[in-house]
Amino acid sequence: MKGQISFVEYLVSTTIFIAFTTYFFFNLVSLVPAYLNEIRSERVRSEAYQISEILVNDPGEPINWDLSNVKRLGFSDENFNKTNLLSENKINMIGPNCIPGYDEVKKLIGTDLDFMLVLIERPNGQLKMLCSPT
């Protein structure tokens, strides 16, 4: 009986194949939730970085906005055009209590994620702005 396989050998090889396939499948499925959490976490980190860059290094829309005409928030001082230099006038318009309201600031920033925006003046540690969900 050359080249032939017995039923027992066939059954053993099929069982081993199914066992390895099942083991591999369950290991793969157990990684999916952790992978999805990591994707969401990376999305949040990325959006937080983008928002911080826009708020700190962009003067907003229009450049010399006030609360009546603001389309996009940005705290960069348009007069000096220096990196990381914030306009105290723009910060004071929003104020320490988030004057237009959290939902309005959220809309102006352009995010669907909840956030907390805190600006503290150095070196005295005075709170300049606090926007957070209630």
pTM above 0.75, yes or no: no
Structure confidence by residue, pLDDT tens digits, 5-34: 788 999 999 999 999 999 999 998 888 888
Structure confidence by residue, pLDDT tens digits, 36-58: 999 999 999 999 999 999 889 98
Structure confidence by residue, pLDDT tens digits, 122-132: 888 888 888 88
Nearest one of 64, 7, 57, 40 to 113, comparing CA atoms: 40
Tell me the pLDDT of the chain averaged across its residues: 87
Q: How far out from the chain centre does Cα 131 lie?
A: 17
- Rg over alpha carbons for the chain, rounded to the nearest Å, is 28
Note every long-range contact of 80-89, with CB atoms under 8 Å and residues 24 or more positions apart, other chains counting: 83/57, 84/56, 84/57, 86/56, 86/119, 87/59
Q: How far apart are CA 91 and CA 121, in angstroms?
A: 11
Tell me: pLDDT of 70 over 60. Answer: yes
Domain range summary for the chain, segments of one domain joined by +:
7-131
